Amino acid sequence: MKAITIFLWTCMLTHTLGTISERDEEIYMLLDKYGYIERETNVSQSDLNVDQLSLLKKGISRFQKSFNLPVTGKIDFRTVDLLGKPRCGNEDSFDFLKSSDQNRKWSSLNIKWGIYGDYYPNGFTAIAQKAFNIWSNHVNLHFRRVISDANILIAFKSGKHGIIRNDKASCLGRFDGMGGILAHADYPDIYKNAIEIHLDKDEDWDLTNTTLAGKTNLFLVLVHEIGHALGLDHSNEFNSIMFPSYGFVHIENFTLSQNDIHAIQKIYGNST
């Protein structure tokens, strides 16, 4: 748990009219990052500042409703505990079974993936292939590692970082050191261009077939990000690999949940 744990000491906050506290500002920024702050269009910055407390309360309510928590619009222990867990950096969009948009899928059944950059841990190639196989077990997609001309580009990045295809161009997401954002991924491109998966280089990655306390299992995170790269949104089902927050699950005999299988087959059809 990162700095967000300090919020637990201030669940009942006193606000002055039109302003929010520094701690509430941190919560606001997290909710905004994950897609829970909805601003009116054509609103001036001064109006936005005055209405920030209202936007915060609505954002908290949306977050609570999304995860079946009591909807109070106030920060409580369960809300802040879930909000502060290490997780995927993609925004939460729970159109999990609506992801059959033809612009959100690969047109080819043969998808090439590659590892890029000057760093990746020993054993990563085998972990990545295993993660891709988790999805190909249920749909007619075939994944192959290549050295160049990949459809899905994978790299370990730190802090504010560039994209793989053009390191001078900044990635819209950024990493925050150990914990917090673990990884993020593109969705399939409407023009069928190559897309990217970024993993936080500063995490204490677990490369084993276990879930070690204090470490983050690389295989589980990569299965999740590949789900995005194939077109899936986040799921609010706790047993889904597409749940946005990292969970400690047994991976020795890991399988997708029925919700995951149904969602990916809705896009690509059943495996033959």
Supply the residues annotated as catalytic. Answer: 225
Residue 37 in tokens: 């702050």
CB 195 within 8 A of CB 188: yes
Residue 263 in tokens: 């969602």
